[in-house]
Structure 1
Amino acid sequence: MRGKTAMAGATMDDVRPHRAAPIDPMALPDRTKFLIFGVMAFGQFMALIDIQIVAASLNEVQAGLSAGPDEISWVQTSYLMAELVMIPFAAFLAQALSTRWLFALSAGLFTLASTLCGMAWSIESMIVFRAVQGFVGGAMVPTVFATGFAMFSGKQRAMIPAILGMVSVLAPTLGPTVGGWITEGAGWRWVFFVNVVPGAVVTVLALTVIRVDRGDLKMLGRIDWVHLASMAIFLAGLEYVLEEGPKNGWFDDLWIAGAAWVALVAFGLFIERSFRSSRPIVKLTPFRSPTFAFACVFNLVIGFGIYAGTYLVPLYLGRVRGYNAAEIGTTVFIAGVVQFLGVPIAAGLSQRIDPRIMVTAGLSLFAAGLWLFSFMTPEWGFAALFWPQAVRSFAIMLCIVPSVGLALNGWAGPELRYASGLFNLMRNLGGAIGIALVNTWLGDLTRLHMLRLDEAMGASPLAAREAIAGLARRFEAVTPDPDHALAMSRAVMGNVLVREALTLAFNDVFRLMAWLFLAALILVPLCRPPKQTARPIEAH
């Protein structure tokens, strides 16, 4: 009877305080560690791919929910805002609930939210469900990084940055591809329903196999609600400003200006509570390490490149080439293939050479890949985009693998969790900043090139009139009305000019991004690789 009682109590060991010895995740059998890591990495993949999985399907979602152009962007914005809040909060929840229960709850609620997104009956319901999906799914992202570094050491640990780096890059890269194929084949609702079966499997496996630490439920009664609220308002407000700013003239819009001020005040309160609260939600102590701080800056730049690059190429294919969702997915698929092939190479190099050398090579090669994009013409398709995508995709693995090692090696216990949350937050913030900036640059540069093209046509009015007249004569073959033919020719000429101006703007944006990556090289000599730690994740 006593044995049965002990077994029953053991099932809740990881969610309540007790006097049992801490669990050492490094002492687990290799087979168990690989199974735990595989389950958690797949959960992370689900959470990250859903950031961009609707990117190629927004037009279909908009039509299906009868949403306006301004409303549909919130399908993305609400997810990103909520996910940003959860990523740093996950470290606290992992200590309170344990990794097992936090990850299982995150995967299960993410699956439920995905189902609700697929069943959405209006744009308002979709926005709410997407916010829930982003919030609950965000806990899986930093948790797997912290757990992987806590379980493995030596050569096995060297594979963690490579695998998780691939997941972090591959998921948002493949998002538009997978979303486009699913939408074309089964309809936009299946973009969300596709998560149900794998999400349920991850939830069950998480409850079954994850045993790496124990929780302390008493922490839930010691939450600094002011700290949590200020963090949520700051991050959500910042994401709102970055998402909506390029479309609404930034601070010329009253709502955006107001959100910026509120976010700034919340940020000040968040910093104050981070240092003065006896029960902080997020501890900023990892930033005391210069190496961690520099690694976070690298991750900010990497996030900029990943998300902005993933955003720009499908945008070019849709707006300039007129590709549909399936054609866009097929064209960008090569990026995912190259990233996958680059994982063993990056992992091998990370064990042999100084991470600063890898970062230097990665940033330089990424800049070269972006520079190759800056020579696009309105006719570029799969073949022309192959090498620019391949170079950029391989380079990102050389960037992210050493940056993860620089950031997370040397931490243990709760500090490892906090470091993982802050590090992953920087990547997502970099992506939000990147998309906002490239949208602003693209709009401004398109208008600038349109003015220059108009000036060029004004400088040669006779040639312009002859070109329009030549088009009009061709259209007279299909319409007997000469005025109609002339109007059609002017419309075609206008579309050609817009297409050329937009292509030139894309080229300029890619050049600006290339210079940004080269500028980040200045920080590389300032990094000092940390010493690896072998302490367990538990700290009770």
Structure 2
Amino acid sequence: MTTATTADLPSQPAAESTTTLAPLKGGALVMLTVATALATFMEVLDTTIANVAVPTISGTMGVSAREGTSIISSYSLAAAIAVPLTGWLARRIGEVRLLTFSVILFTLFSVLCGLATDFNTLVFFRLMQGLVSGPMVPLGQAIMMNNYPPEKRGVAMAFWAMTVVIAPVMGPVLGGYITENYSWPWIFYINIPIGIFCVVALRSLLKGRESAISSKAPIDVVGLVLLVIGVGSLQYMLEHGNDWGWFESSTVVRLAIAAVVGLTFLAIWEWYDKHPVVDLKLVKVRNFTVGTILQTVGFTIFFGNVVVIPLWLQTVMGYDAFHSGLATAPVALFAIFFSPVIGMNMHRVDLRWLIFIGFGLFAYGAWHSSLLTPDSTITDVMLGRFLFGLGIPFFFIPLSSLMMQGMEGDDLVNAAGLSNFLRTLGGAMGTAIFVTLWSRRTSFHHARLTEELHPGNPMYDQLMANAKASGSSLEASYQMLEGLVSQQAATKGTLDVLYLSAGLFIIMMFCVFIAKPVKGAVAQAGH
């Protein structure tokens, strides 16, 4: 078995190293786990909880539904920029202090979002909410790892990963329920008790456990500007590209150029800068690089499925937003109960085999979901999503541990920030790519089916005969036929997405073995 040593990792200035403290134990460790998991859950939940409320909010504030999507894009855009800054900010402010401030400000801006009386104000507060949320997920991961005993860090990763995966699935369900039964501001107000609890718990449990602060490190202004330009352009393009027709739009072309130029120069600048805002030298660590690539691609496919299936349910099956979210929620059910089991036992096996199994289960779940038809019941949909979710604990938890093997202190925070940024980017890419693919494959199948339906075709003749026998007019018959064609085309487009997902997951099963073998507990010990 091969493990990383401190020699494998990018060196850090001595002033930036952290003091090693004894891990927390007993009730304090449990409370820290709950607090950091809830902080992570709250931040990730807000990426999707507002999605189903957009029509309601838009109608209330007198803007179009398309304008209303700014509620979502402003948050995700700001968060995408802020996440990679986590390591740099933590070195200047301190990990515990930064996480505490982030939770306080996130809760405050959540309240202000709920109190907003006009649309522009709401978008501004959502932007600020996303901006301060950036450090919450990677710091939650890093602080849990740094305060858990080495032999129990697999369990820490299990609880952290479980919240990251479950939260975006639960967002539409919770958002739909609150919007339908209460009022939309409550999708923001529910953060208040969670935020207060997290702040109190973090301040009491982590007192005296602050990381070292490198106050003399200069601000990398060039890197920061390039980060904003590159990541901001890419995120905005992914958010709106499908609505604008992708590269048929001059705006998308300009955003793509800005993203490529910004990110290219960012990579070059950060590689040579002495105090980078994003530590790209982490790519020298083989398992971090391989694991991050697999996590990003895997999350792209996973999130693409999480978005496309509800679209199919709402456009073809007639589900409303709440019930489509409810039908797909079982994707997280297995992870809730089985993630701790994986976390407690993954030190017994090579992590690569667990990830191999995870990708295999995703492939099987995607294939099983491809058996769905427009006649499928909500139970059939829920079963398919449950089977797809079997892969979650085998994928995300061991893969996160494999990426972080041997890392401590600043390296751990930097790695958590970079990997979480790429995971978030993977989710945005999954939404953009798979929705576009689904839309275009639906149009393709619609054209093919329309070509086949003409007088003389037995199916066409039978459908028109049945419509005539039922007393329908010719116009009504054509409308009925168009409805059937649209339904079948959207279903075939969904199946194409599922087939592609299954194939990609099968390929990724074997890419896992590019990484070095490592067992879970050793991976986190840093020895």
Name the TM-score, length of structure 2 as normaliser: 0.91
Structure ID, larger Rg: 1
The question of 1:512 aligning with 2:506 is answered no
Residue equivalent to 2:6: none
The question of 1:216 aligning with 2:204 is answered no
Residue equivalent to 2:198: 202
On the 8 A contact 1:286/1:419 being kept in 2, the answer is: yes
The question of 1:432 aligning with 2:428 is answered yes
Find the partner of 1:496 among 481, 484, 505: 484
On the 8 A contact 1:334/1:390 being kept in 2, the answer is: yes
Find the partner of 2:178 among 179, 182, 187: 182
Q: Which amino acid aligns with 1:207?
A: R
- Once the two structures are overlaid, the 10-residue window that deviates more, 245-254 or 324-333, is 324-333
The question of 1:528 aligning with 2:519 is answered no
How many Å apart are 1:141 and its aligned residue? 0.4
Superposed, 1:100-111 pairs within 5 Å as 100-111=96-107
Q: Which amino acid aligns with 2:260?
A: L
Residue equivalent to 2:94: 98
Residue equivalent to 1:241: 237
Residue equivalent to 2:7: none
> How many Å separate the matches in 1 of 2:330 and 2:422?
26
For the aligned residues, what is the CA RMSD?
2.2
How many Å apart are 1:535 and its aligned residue? 6.3
How many Å apart are 1:325 and its aligned residue? 2.7
Structure 2 gaps, min length 5 = 1-14
> How many Å separate the matches in 2 of 1:189 and 1:381?
33
- Once the two structures are overlaid, the 10-residue window that deviates more, 354-363 or 316-325, is 316-325
The question of 1:262 aligning with 2:254 is answered no
How many Å apart are 1:62 and its aligned residue? 2.5
- When residues 155 and 189 of structure 1 are mapped into structure 2, their CA distance, relative to the original with a 3 A threshold, is same
Structure 1 gaps, min length 5 = 1-18, 477-484
Q: Which amino acid aligns with 2:317?
A: R
- Provide, for residues 178-198 of structure 1, a one-character-per-residue CA deviation record: whole Å limited to 9, x for no partner: 111111110222111211222
How many Å apart are 1:459 and its aligned residue? 6.3
DSSP 3-state at the match of 2:242: helix
How many Å apart are 1:215 and its aligned residue? 4.8
How many Å apart are 1:67 and its aligned residue? 2.4
Find the partner of 1:408 among 404, 427, 430: 404
Superposed, 1:268-283 pairs within 5 Å as 268-283=264-279
Find the partner of 1:358 among 354, 358, 361: 354
Find the partner of 2:48 among 47, 52, 59: 52
Name the TM-score, length of structure 1 as normaliser: 0.89
The question of 1:486 aligning with 2:474 is answered yes
- Once the two structures are overlaid, the 10-residue window that deviates more, 230-239 or 54-63, is 54-63
How many Å apart are 1:137 and its aligned residue? 1.3
Residue equivalent to 2:72: 76
The question of 1:230 aligning with 2:218 is answered no
- When residues 371 and 22 of structure 1 are mapped into structure 2, their CA distance, relative to the original with a 3 A threshold, is closer
Q: Which amino acid aligns with 1:216?
A: I
How many Å apart are 1:159 and its aligned residue? 0.4
- When residues 281 and 375 of structure 1 are mapped into structure 2, their CA distance, relative to the original with a 3 A threshold, is same
DSSP 3-state at the match of 1:60: helix
The question of 1:36 aligning with 2:4 is answered no
Q: Which amino acid aligns with 1:297?
A: I
- Provide, for residues 116-169 of structure 1, a one-character-per-residue CA deviation record: whole Å limited to 9, x for no partner: 222333433332222211121121100011112212234311102211111111
How many Å apart are 1:449 and its aligned residue? 0.5
How many Å apart are 1:234 and its aligned residue? 1.1
DSSP 3-state at the match of 1:51: coil
On the 8 A contact 2:54/2:65 being kept in 1, the answer is: no
Q: Which amino acid aligns with 1:90?
A: T
How many Å apart are 1:460 and its aligned residue? 3.4
On the 8 A contact 1:26/1:150 being kept in 2, the answer is: no
- Once the two structures are overlaid, the 10-residue window that deviates more, 146-155 or 167-176, is 146-155
On the 8 A contact 1:113/1:130 being kept in 2, the answer is: yes
> How many Å separate the matches in 2 of 1:512 and 1:116?
42
Q: Which amino acid aligns with 2:481?
A: M
Find the partner of 2:418 among 414, 417, 422: 422
> How many Å separate the matches in 1 of 2:47 and 2:147?
28
